[in-house]
Structure 1
Amino acid sequence: MIKNPIHKRLEKLESWQHITFITCLCERMYPNYHLFCQVTNQQENARIYHNILNLVWEYLTVKDVKINFDNQLEKLENIIPDINDYDFYGIVPAVDACEALSELLHTIIAGSTLEQAVKVSQLSIQTVAIFLETELERELSEQELKNSDEIEQELDIQWQIYRLLNECEKRDISLISGLKTDLREQMISNIGIKIDC
């Protein structure tokens, strides 16, 4: 699996920065789940996923907000599709998006933020790698993956998010809100799925 040089650097960040980093990656994976829900006629599930993401952004930006994340995790677990129930590629990035959001909620509940940040970063890269292999109908070597525009773009975006967070001395609400706005305006996933929200 591709090693992302960012993983070592994530150690320097504080927990709020890790959580923001993971939330940004979930936001980028959301269109994959949204499209899956559209295709399988489960739009309500996409809405639940997005609501949970909204609550995490709220948790990051609103002082002393009280959110029951155990409850949100339960809601998420009810909408994770079973990979064995579907025989088309779209299930894979959809399940990855759910796994990323699940990791995010576990991070907030349990507090082991660095480990989860690395895990979700890796997961997002893996989604892109599987997408490329599915398109080309063959396995790709690590070098081929590294040289692909799609992986390069994924690493670049993760790096940009990291760099912006790393520049903050303390929790910067306007930066967090800005990241959310930018990602939502683009609404393009890590594998190039674009949705209108």
Structure 2
Amino acid sequence: MKTAFRNPIHKRLENLQSWQHITFMACLCERMYPNYHLFCQMTEQPRNSKIYQNILNLVWEYLSVKGAKINFEHQLEKLEDIIPDVNEYDFFGVVPALDACESLSELLHAIIAGATLEQSVRISRLSLQTVIALLETQTDQELSEAVLKESEELQQELDIQWQLYRSLKECEERDIELITDLKNELRSLGVSNIGIKFEQ
């Protein structure tokens, strides 16, 4: 069940520079990581959870350490090995886990190709899609945009994306302090876009 949901932030993302796009995407992947971590716990694949987090750590390093040399093609290969196959699992947890992996894959492709706007819109959509998939699974029906707009969970996800956008938009230059603060704040909260908690 995939309901299209229009998000006005997508138009605004055009105002951001490449480093801001990558930070925005890394933040959204950070928020999706607890979903993947829980899936790995439930399917007894702790190593895969570690691989995901390590790749994401390298993205943060790339953003905050000047001249960091990282082979993202190699990281993409590692990621491809840990993407769950939805057909192999019959519980909902595989859906947010797959969305988390697809998002991290989009982020790596963006860094490798140097094309970041399209990917940041895609990850924004994927993160919203995870929330919509949960709501539709809970209600066992496809929800209209009007109904979705009323949902607290989706509103919260939209609010967080806008907060990230606003804090990034205020910076002219790449701001290492802001990048680190965003990462640390999301990690200390440890709550995913669908409310899954992860204790570091």
For 1:80 and 1:9, the matched residues in 2 are separated by 30
What does the per-residue CA deviation read over 1:2-43, in whole Å, with 9 as the maximum and x for residues that have no partner? 111111110010000000000000000000000000000001
RMSD: 0.5
Aligned to 2:75: 72
Shift of 1:49: 0.1
Aligned to 1:29: 32
Aligned to 1:153: 156
For 1:42 and 1:67, the matched residues in 2 are separated by 25
Extract structure 1 runs of 4+ deviating beyond 3 A.
Answer: none
Identity %: 69
What does the per-residue CA deviation read over 1:120-148, in whole Å, with 9 as the maximum and x for residues that have no partner? 00110010000001111111111101110
Using the size of structure 1 for normalisation, the TM-score is 0.99
Using the size of structure 2 for normalisation, the TM-score is 0.98
Q: What SS does the corresponding residue of 1:79 show, helix, strand or coil? A: coil
For 1:2 and 1:143, the matched residues in 2 are separated by 10
**In the TM superposition, what are the counterparts of 1:10-49 in structure 2 within 5 Å?**
10-49=13-52
Q: Paired residues, what number?
A: 197
Aligned to 2:132: 129
Instruction: Pick from 182, 187, 191 the counterpart of residue 190 of structure 2.
Output: 187
Aligned to 1:105: 108
Consecutive unaligned residues of structure 1, counting only runs of 5 or more, are none
Residue 6 of structure 2 is aligned to residue 3 of structure 1: yes
What does the per-residue CA deviation read over 1:70-118, in whole Å, with 9 as the maximum and x for residues that have no partner? 0000000000011110011000000000000000000000011000000
